[in-house]
Amino acid sequence: MTASSALLESAVDQLATLPGIGRRTAMRLALDLLRREPHDVARFTEAIRRMRDELRRCEVCCNVSDEPRCAICSDPRRDAGLICVVEDIRDVLAIEATRQYHGLYHVLGGVISPMEGIGPDDLNTAELLDRTANGAAREVVLALGGTLEGDTTAFYLNKRLADRNVLVTTIARGISVGANLDQADEVTLGRSIADRKPYEQSIKR
58 binds Zn ion (CB under 5 A): yes
Residue 148 is which amino acid?
Answer: L
Query: What span, in angstroms and rounded, lies between the C-alpha atoms of 63 and 91?
Result: 11
86 binds Zn ion (CB under 5 A): no
Handedness of CA 132, 137, 141, 144 (dihedral sign): negative
**Helix intervals (H) in the chain:** 6-15, 23-35, 38-54, 89-98, 125-131, 148-160, 186-194, 199-204
Q: Which is nearer to Zn ion, 34 or 55 (CB)?
A: 55
Query: What span, in angstroms and rounded, lies between the C-alpha atoms of 155 and 200?
Result: 9
Q: Which is nearer to Zn ion, 70 or 123 (CB)?
A: 70
CB of 74 to Zn ion, least distance (A): 8
CB of 70 to Zn ion, least distance (A): 3
CB of 28 to Zn ion, least distance (A): 37
On the CB side of 177, CA atoms within 13 Å amount to 2
Handedness of CA 123, 195, 182, 199 (dihedral sign): positive
121: closest CA among 133, 109, 132? 109
60 binds Zn ion (CB under 5 A): yes
11 binds Zn ion (CB under 5 A): no
112 binds Zn ion (CB under 5 A): no
70 binds Zn ion (CB under 5 A): yes
CB of 76 to Zn ion, least distance (A): 13
Q: Is residue 154 within 8 Å of residue 144, measured between CB atoms?
A: yes
Among the candidate windows 55-63, 75-83, 132-140, 146-154, which touches Zn ion by CB under 5 A? 55-63
Among 11, 12, 73, 86, binds Zn ion (CB under 5 A): 73
128 binds Zn ion (CB under 5 A): no
85 binds Zn ion (CB under 5 A): no
What is the contact surface with Zn ion in residues (CB under 5 A)?
58, 60-61, 63, 70, 73
